[in-house]
Chains A and B, each alone.
Chain A
Amino acid sequence: MSTTIQELIEQVSRSELLRFVTAGSVDDGKSTLIGRLLHDAKAIYEDHLASLDHDSRKAGRNEIDFALLTDGLKAEREQGITIDVAYRHFSTPRRRFIIADTPGHEQYTRNMATGASTADLALILIDARNGVTTQSKRHAFIASLFGIPHMVVAVNKMDLVGWSQNIFEAIRDEFGQFCTKLRIGDLEFIPISALKGDNVVHRSKNMPWYQGPLLLTHLETIHIASDQNLIDFRFPVQYVLRPHAGFRGYTGVVVSGVIRVGEEVVVLPSSRLTRIARIIRGFEDVEYAFPPQSVTLCVADNLDISRGDMIAHPANVPWVARDIEAMLIWLDEEPLRPDKHYLVKHTTSLVRGRFTDVMYKIDPNTLHRQETHVLTLNEIGRVSMHLFRPIMCDEYARNRYTGAFIVIDPVTNFTVACGMIIDRAHQYMNPTVGWQVALREGQITAEDRAMVLGQKPVTIWMTGLSGSGKSTIAYAMERKLLSDGRACFVLDGDVVRQGLNKDLGFCAKDRSENIRRVAEVARLMNEAGLIVIVSLISPFRADRKNARSIIGDDRFIEVFVDTPIEKCEERDPKGLYAKARQGIIPEFTGVSSPYEEPENPDLRIDTTHLSVEDCVELLLRLLQERRVLD
């Protein structure tokens, strides 16, 4: 017998956890559906059922009311509505479920936010009799705002519309149309009757026209393993563990990415480099850790690391930002005040800050923007904030944990808002085009393209004097990558100046603009999935720094082609040095205009003693280290 139990325990222990949030209007029958799921999944214990029986009679109903099972608190039962998030648990042999049941009345936003923030899936109920309502749209909007990867729309009360296929399809088409404006990973529509049980756990005999998945089967089988971000390693330091002089460890959750013993890491905001010496999980040393494990990291060097710091891979770091832009949901009775200082809790750090701008609020029914300067309870808007200490963050769409924060009123200590950080690059977007475009743009992500192309888009930025060998290496590298089946492109300064930038000269201002444009083009090409090789003298640090911020830290690889000027001048392929020395060409880099060397390039190449092939080899090795190529 013991082996049987062991096998059973093995199976149950291996099952995955799925968290989902339910949303629906007051009369959509949401509580009934949850009661039905729990009941049909055989999770309702007998005595709960017995007390349910008792409560139902008291409320003047005749048959068992599943809703009473989920509407917990006394005050709510008296009013007949759910006023707070209630968590329910059930399991099947395949999965363990946590339901966050959120109320549908006017406080919905605040409550749904609580349930939605951690959900893998949103279950939205629509009453077949009423069709798509503004509330259904609000729920879908909030689900997309919180980046919930999966959505299921249960069209309920099909029994009351004569099990009509037409009605179901009309709702599906209308709601599906609305959802194209939102960022929603996948969307499924299921016609059900929660009260009668049709298509919840058992296939409906009343709707033979529906061949899709049953609700519970869908919840049990939907693929969620790929939802987590395994690319960008982020470890917010939670607590420094120093039990005795010989041990110092940093505890925390691996919120994204994978970390291995021996890997080089960078500690932010200090930017100090070190190496992972040990990873401890529970009482054991492990070789690697992944999200959302709680572990303890030990590093090789004796660094000053404290709570609120962030550990990441040096080639893939979050933004270190004092000024952030975010979509904000206001959760407090007292409206947002621009003159007030608030506390922001982001990962494990708590910083002070204030709102510098409220750009607009969004009407969740129409998705239209409205100009405003404040946000009040349950309103959603775009804001910018200034923080008194920097935070290490990512775009929320890319990272649900380093992109999220809550705002706390320092006087009442109440959680007054929650925010989702927006990619700062969106600032370049035409502000009148709007939210919907931003959402549409997101439907195919850079990761999607990267997966299809089998490469991570990066920009190799080659800087160095004229004649140092930048273009020669760039084209050789391009040839090599193309012959390996990679998609790449060289942006050569000389070529760009003949077309895109032919209106620009060589004064400092025009050089800056030249670089800015090249960086923007490189960014677009990266967005399209290409590996870009830029060959540009780009002599000034400030311009290269600007290029880095446009292209993005994690995509920008700086290569310094460090050939001594004597050698460059000796080569002088275009005869430029000679002209510069004669004063024919003014402001020539290295001669009459300075070249500011990169302080900390990703790679330094001196072509004096290296062949072109050697240089290409060095670049390839760098790309492999950065895991750019599959």
Chain B
Amino acid sequence: MERLHLSHLEALEAESIHIIREVVAEFERPVMLYSVGKDSSVMVRLAQKAFYPGKIPFPLLHVDTGMKFPEMYEFRDRFCREIGADLRVYRHEEAIAQGVNPWDLGTVKCCAILKTEALLNALKESGYDAALGGARRDEEKSRAKERVYSFRDPYGQWDPKNQRPELWNLYNGRIRKGESIRVFPLSNWTELDVWLYIYREKIPVVPMYFAKERPMIVRNGRLIPVYEGMRLEPGEKPQMVTCRFRTLGCYPCTGAVVSTASNVAEIVKEMMTVRRSERITRLIDHDQDSSMEQKKREGYF
């Protein structure tokens, strides 16, 4: 019998593809923010599907803090080469040369410079008027109120009290010169949806998502990877732990979770029973009350 009803995953896929195409149809210089993580991998796959048999008609932009894991750089370059993507890397060279880091400045300031400021610079420099990002509403409380099309003023700032109503699948992409829109095609996806899709579509992801024995230290109840040149606190001793990363960020600020899930199917299984949200492994979100909202107001995506 002919099937005339979509499963939730197919419905989410169709909605995301619609959004990505809408951006390309309506904006002059769109770009996709590529963070190397699993959500980015899914978003890139959706973009490939949206324009098949053509290529993705916009560049991928990686805002590189210079503090990503070596596995992430490796994966990024290979993945983008294999799919023939137009990868642009932006680094805040001035700040990196000054030695901006989270240990001396604190994570809040470090993020504000190396990520938010860098992103705004990159968008401005190339005149991008729409930036597709992989953020999901289920990640964090303030993101739950984010629109699919998130309007930003010329300084990239978000005003949660002045969002445009968003009805049906009719997105309002009208902007004035200098203003921009952040677009979140994965708005309605959950972490479980992302992994289900990766499983179903056999999408490659950075191997750090898979469990293996890694040298770690425990700090403030969080599992932090040990890497070269790391400043250890008194009494901290690296130990081997079987763990994996649920989100990937900068190495000083990304924690791991204890897990034995060593392939995508096992991660999906873990997701179905997991009781902790993924952003707990990101030290930056816990800096202060409502830290994500604060960052978004300032121009973070």
A residues whose Cβ falls under 8 Å from a Cβ of B: 2, 5-6, 8-9, 12-17, 42, 45-48, 69-70, 72-75, 83-89, 91, 95-96, 98, 110-111, 113-114, 117-118, 225, 228, 230, 238-239, 241-244, 247, 251-253, 258, 280, 282-283, 288, 290, 292-294, 296, 307, 331, 343, 345-348, 400-401, 404-406, 408, 410, 413-415, 418
Interchain CB contact under 8 A, A75 and B167: no
Say yes or no: B51 contacts A415, CB within 8 Å.
no
Residue of A nearest to B49 (CB): A282
Bitwise, B146-187 to A at CB < 8 A (1) or not (0) is: 000000000000001101111111101011100000000001
Output the residue of B14, B145, B165 with the most chain A CB within 10 A: B165
In the complex, B4 has a CB within 8 A of chain A: yes
The listed residue (B8, B15, B55, B145) touching A16 by CB distance below 8 A is B8
**Residue of A at shortest CB range from B2?**
A288
New A-B pairs, 17, CB < 8 Å, besides A48-B277, A239-B22, A251-B51: A8-B268, A9-B199, A13-B196, A45-B275, A46-B276, A70-B144, A84-B160, A87-B187, A89-B137, A292-B14, A294-B15, A404-B168, A406-B172, A408-B174, A413-B172, A415-B166, A418-B167
Say whether chain B's binding surface is mostly helix, strand, loop, or mixed.
helix
Indicate which residue in A86, A111, A247, A307 contacts B53 across the interface (CB closer than 8 Å). A247
* CB closest residue in chain A, given B281: A47
Q: Within the complex, which residue of B21, B55, B276 is in contact with A294, where a contact is CB–CB below 8 Å? A: B21
- How big is the B interface, by class? 35 or more
Across the interface, do B188 and A414 meet the contact criterion of CB distance under 8 Å?
A: no
A13: B residues at CB distance < 8 A: 7-9, 196, 200
Q: A86-B144, A282-B52, A345-B172 are in contact. Are A17 and B165 (CB under 8 A)?
A: no
Q: Are A418 and B266 in contact (CB under 8 A)?
A: no
Q: Are the CB atoms of A292 and B160 closer together than 8 Å? A: no
Q: Is the CB of B188 within 8 A of A87?
A: yes
Q: A89 touches which one: B2, B54, B190 (CB < 8 A)?
A: B190
In contact, A238 and B25 (Cβ under 8 angstroms) = yes
Name the distance in Å between B292's Cβ and chain A's nearest Cβ.
10
Closest 8 CB pairs of A and B: A243-B54, A17-B8, A413-B174, A72-B141, A294-B17, A96-B8, A117-B167, A45-B277
| Contact A15–B275 (Cβ < 8 Å) | no
Q: CA separation between A243 and B11, bound complex, in Å? A: 26
Residues of B within 8 A of A73 (CB): 141-142, 145, 160, 290, 293
Are B144's CB and A114's CB within 8 A?
Answer: no
Q: How far is the CB of A580 from chain B (nearest CB, A)?
A: 56
CA distance A241 to B49 in the complex (A): 12
B138 is an interface residue with CB less than 8 A from chain A: yes
Is B269 interfacial (CB 8 A cutoff)?
yes
Query: How would residues 277 to 291 of chain B score, 1 for a CB under 8 Å from any chain A CB and 0 otherwise?
Result: 100100000000110
Complex-state Cα separation, A243 to B199, whole angstroms: 29
Main secondary structure of the interface of A (DSSP, over half): mixed
* Residue pair B277, A47 in contact (C-beta under 8 Å): yes
CB-CB under 8 A for A230 and B168, given A9-B196, A13-B196: no
Q: Closest residue to A44 on the B side, CB-wise?
A: B275
Residues of A near B277 (CB, < 8 A) are 45, 47-48
Contacts of A280 in B (CB 8 A): 52-53
Query: In the complex, which residue of chain A has the Cβ closest to the Cβ of B199?
Result: A9
Q: Which residues of B contact A292 (CB under 8 A)?
A: 6, 11, 14-15
Q: Give 28 pairs: A residue, B residue, CB < 8 Å, sorted on A.
A: A9-B200, A12-B272, A13-B8, A15-B8, A16-B8, A17-B7, A17-B8, A17-B12, A45-B277, A47-B276, A72-B293, A88-B138, A89-B188, A91-B192, A239-B24, A241-B54, A244-B54, A251-B50, A288-B2, A290-B4, A292-B14, A294-B13, A294-B14, A294-B15, A345-B170, A345-B172, A401-B168, A415-B165
Shortest B271–chain A CB gap in Å is 10
Q: Are A87 and B144 in contact (CB under 8 A)?
A: yes
Bound CA–CA A294/B25 (angstroms): 14
Query: Is B258's beta carbon under 8 Å from chain A?
Result: no
Question: What is the CA–CA distance of A296 and B17 in the complex, to the nearest angstrom?
Answer: 11
Least CB distance from A306 to B in Å reads 10
Residue in B8, B165, B274 whose beta carbon sits within 8 Å of that of A331 in the complex: B165
Question: Are A2 and B265 interface neighbours, CB within 8 A?
Answer: yes
A74–B288 alpha-carbon span in the complex (Å):
12
**Residues of B close to A69: CB separation below 8 A:** 141
Minimal beta-carbon separation of B83 from chain A (angstroms): 12
B18 within 8 A of A: yes
Q: List chain A residues, Cβ under 8 A from B265.
A: 2, 5-6, 9
CB distance from B11 to the nearest CB of A (A): 5
- Using known A-B contacts A17-B11, A345-B170, determine if residue A415 contacts B190 with beta carbons closer than 8 Å: no
| Complex contact B172–A415 (CB within 8 A) | yes
User: A75 touching B160 by the CB < 8 A rule?
Assistant: yes
Considering the chains assembled together, what is the distance between the CA atoms of A141 and B5 in angstroms? 29
A102 to chain B minimum Cβ distance, whole angstroms, is 11
Q: Are A83 and B161 in contact (CB under 8 A)?
A: yes
Report the Cα distance A215→B21, complex, angstroms: 37
Cβ of B15: which chain A residues have Cβ within 8 Å of it? 292, 294
Which residues on A sit within 8 Å (CB–CB) of B55?
243
Pick the most buried of A83, A88, A241: most chain B CB atoms within 10 A of its CB.
A241
A5 and B168 contact, Cβ closer than 8 Å, known pairs A86-B144, A238-B25, A294-B17: no
A406-B54 in contact given A46-B275, A72-B141, A415-B164 (Cβ < 8 Å): no
- For A54, give the chain B residue with the smallest CB separation: B289
A238-B168 in contact given A73-B142, A283-B52 (Cβ < 8 Å): no
Cα–Cα distance between A251 and B53 once the two chains are bound (Å) = 12
B-chain residues with CB within 8 Å of residue A307 when the two chains form the complex: 25
Give the residues in chain B near A111, CB-CB below 8 Å.
165
Contact of B14 among A96, A253, A347, A348 (CB under 8 A): A253
- B residues near A98, Cβ cutoff 8 Å: 188
Q: Is the CB of A5 within 8 A of B268?
A: yes
B14 near A293 (CB under 8 angstroms)? yes
A244 to B174, CA, bound (A): 30
From known contacts A9-B196, A91-B190, A418-B167, infer whether A253 and B18 are also in contact, taking CB-CB under 8 Å: yes
Alpha-carbon distance A46/B277, docked complex (angstroms) = 7
Chain B residues near A406: list those with CB within 8 A.
167-168, 170, 172
Instruction: List which B111-147 residues lie within 8 A (CB) of chain A.
Output: 137-138, 141-142, 144-145
How far does the alpha carbon of A278 sit from the alpha carbon of B6 in the complex, in Å? 20
Would you give the shortest CB distance from B228 to chain A, in whole angstroms?
30
Chain B residues whose C-beta falls within 8 Å of the C-beta of A91 in the assembled complex: 8, 190, 192
**In contact, B6 and A293 (Cβ under 8 angstroms):** yes
Are A413 and B176 touching (Cβ within 8 A)?
A: yes
How far does the Cβ of B173 sit from chain A's closest Cβ, in whole Å? 9
Q: How far is the CB of B109 from chain A (nearest CB, A)?
A: 20
> Measured between C-beta atoms, what is the minimum distance from B123 to chain A in Å?
19
A241 CB to closest chain B CB, in angstroms? 6
Instruction: Quote the shortest CB–CB distance from A595 to chain B (angstroms).
Output: 45
* CB of B96, distance to nearest CB on chain A (Å): 31
Expressed in whole angstroms, the minimum distance between the Cβ of A59 and any Cβ of chain B is: 12
A6-B265, A47-B276, A406-B167 known; A15-B7 Cβ under 8 A:
yes
Question: In whole Å, how far is A14's beta carbon from the nearest beta carbon of chain B?
Answer: 5
| B170–A75 CB distance below 8 A | no
Residues on the A chain within 8 Å of B7, using CB: 13-17
Q: How far is the CA of A95 from the CA of B11 in the complex (A)?
A: 13
Contact B200 A84 (CB under 8 A): no
Separation in Å of the A498 CB from the closest CB of chain B?
48
Q: Which of B7, B50, B55, B169 has the most CB of A within 10 A?
A: B169
Shortest distance from the beta carbon of B18 to any chain A beta carbon, whole Å: 5
A45 vs B17: C-alpha distance when bound (angstroms): 29
In the complex, what residues of B have CB within 8 A of residue A241's CB? 51, 54
* In the bound complex, CA of A400 to CA of B167 (Å): 11
Complex Cα distance, B193 from A17, in Å, reads 12
A12 to B193, CA, bound (A): 9
Instruction: Provide the bound-state CA to CA distance between A45 and B52, in Å.
Output: 38
Residues of B within 8 A of A88 (CB): 138, 144
Give the nearest-CB partner of B266 in chain A.
A5
A346–B200 CA distance with the chains assembled, in angstroms = 34
